[in-house]
Amino acid sequence: MRTLCLDIGGTGIKALILGQGGEPASERLRVPTPKPATPAAVLDAIAGLVAPLGVFERVAVGFPGVVIAGTIRSAPNLGPGWTGFDLAAALAERLGQPVRVANDAGVQGLGVIEGSGTEVVLTLGTGMGFGLYVDGIYVPNIEMAHHPYNGELTYEQLVSDRALHEVGAAAWEERVQAVVAQLRPILNWRRLYLGGGNARLLDAGRFAADVALVDNAAGLMGGWKLWADRP
């Protein structure tokens, strides 16, 4: 049973096939996210991206927004036309295999969490993704990124890729530190994981022992666990 894992982001779409045990079974490919990133344009980009990867029997998708039962409820960093779009059904028809879709940060967390206690994932890329897990169970669609941080900016506006380029890497890292400090007494995690494309710019030594930096490839590796059914 081979799983095609897709990670749809604001700047890029990535694809990888994982084998029966969750091990990589293909090369990892990436294409730029279309502009504008409408559903039709994204589906076309995915079809072209996965064509050379080979055979797969199921599909797991990480999507940058709220997803309920495979249908998109929000996509703040993509183009128009996503609200109410049944991405799981559309991709299943396009690719000919069953599809599961979840929030991209949620899927990334499935690839890194240890499955014990309260664990939190923050992804730092085009925007800010958030995932919460309790004893390995994902609590879906908590959009912490759009919660006000200080009455003026949201968390996402504070640490987005746009903010990084506006204030520079050093000041941006201070902002990430402030977000972690703000969320710590609210969520009381056992472990916090910082991922996403911009996490590579952070200095792991500046964070407490309960914070770990994780590779952005987890956004694809977690797709295999999206198919791990629970009672």
30 in the same domain as 94: yes
E-assigned strands of the chain? Answer: 3-8, 12-18, 29-32, 58-63, 67-68, 71-72, 99-103, 118-124, 128-134, 137-139, 191-195, 211-213
Q: Is the predicted pLDDT of residue 148 greater than 50, yes or no?
A: yes
Given pLDDT bands bounded at 50, 70 and 90, which one contains residue 231? very low
132 in the same domain as 65: no
Given pLDDT bands bounded at 50, 70 and 90, which one contains residue 221? confident
86 in the same domain as 134: no
* Eight-class DSSP state of 24: B
Structural domain boundaries enclosing 88? 3-107+220-227
Backbone angles phi, psi at 109, to 5 degrees: -60, -35
Which contiguous run of DSSP H or E holds residue 162? Answer: helix 161-167
Q: Which single residue is written with the structure tokens 């759009």?
A: 146
What is the per-residue pLDDT across 29-41, written as a single tens digit (0 to 9) for each? Answer: 999 999 999 999 9
Q: How far does Cα 163 stand from its chain's mean position?
A: 19
Specify the pTM: 0.89
* Residues contacting 8, CB < 8 A, separation 6+: 33, 42, 46, 61, 62, 63, 64, 78, 104
148 in the same domain as 197: yes
What is the per-residue pLDDT across 175-196, written as a single tens digit (0 to 9) for each? Answer: 999 999 999 999 999 999 999 9
Distance CA 196, CA 9 (A): 10
CATH of the domain at 56: 3.30.420.40
Q: Is the predicted pLDDT of residue 207 greater than 60, yes or no?
A: yes
Q: Is the predicted pLDDT of residue 25 greater than 50, yes or no?
A: yes
30 in the same domain as 99: yes
